[in-house]
Copies of this chain bind each other. A is one copy, B any other.
Amino acid sequence: MSNGSNSYNNSVALEGAISEVLSFPLFKGLSPDQIRNLIGTGTIHIQKHRDILFHGGSQATHFGIVLSGAYKLSRVTHLGDDAVIHFSSRGDVLAALVMAQENPAYPLTARAMGPSRALMIPRHTYVESWLATPGLVASIQGLLSSRMGRFQSQRVMQRAPLTSKIAALLLQLVSKNEDQEQMVISLPLTRKEIADTLGVAVESVIRIMSDWDKNGIINTTDQEIRLLQPERIIQEMES
């Protein structure tokens, strides 16, 4: 798949992966045996911050399931900076859509954000087994549907002031969280990445978020962003 990544193809580790994966909503309604068949040919990739899982443009031989950590999916613009398309975390599928094509290439580059693990499964397994399992296809389409929905809400915000866009993005990211109570985005998310996601300049993002930080509306560390006063963020979004 990629250059500097540690790949294990170890049956013990893989057994571990199966037990991890059992609880994913993706596989809801499937028996452990079915799941074993669906991921049996996969390999586990253990990566550290900024490691590349696959490179946009290269031949798409595998698709992936995020086991832990997170991946940033991005493309390079003609100016050389990144355009971030999506953040994938635990339970998300990667590059599934292109698997159905004849001789696919990865449309995006996937890069680990902090230490992350992904299960990479060869394309033929997708074509032969995944596509033939209606419940699974429905789950994948559900994931894609929510990803599409997120795209669309961002498009709707395009005319809004930058403050609203950032607020909307933060709220979108917390809503992906598993524990809905906590207003926390548990991603090592830099201001630059936020800027690249929104397609704006870093400085502009910094000016707004550092201000929020100072005013105790949010709290940012290297590991997470905590919304201390979500009401104010919602207010900012709507203004």
**Chain A interface (Cβ < 8 Å from any Cβ of B):** 75, 77-79, 81, 83, 85, 96-101, 107-108, 127, 131-132, 134, 137-139, 141-142, 144-145, 148-149, 151-152, 155-160, 199-200, 238
| CA distance in complex: A33, B81 (Å) | 51
| CA distance in complex: A89, B199 (Å) | 29
Q: For A79, what are the chain B residues with a Cβ–Cβ distance below 8 Å?
A: 159
Q: For A159, what are the chain B residues with a Cβ–Cβ distance below 8 Å?
A: 77, 79, 81, 199-200
Contacts A98-B145, A131-B134, A142-B100 known; A156 to B83 CB distance under 8 Å? Answer: yes
Residue of B107, B134, B152, B160 touching A78 (CB-CB under 8 A): B160
Q: Jot down 12 A-B pairs with beta carbons below 8 A, ordered by A.
A: A75-B152, A75-B156, A78-B160, A81-B159, A83-B156, A85-B152, A97-B145, A99-B141, A101-B142, A107-B145, A158-B199, A159-B200
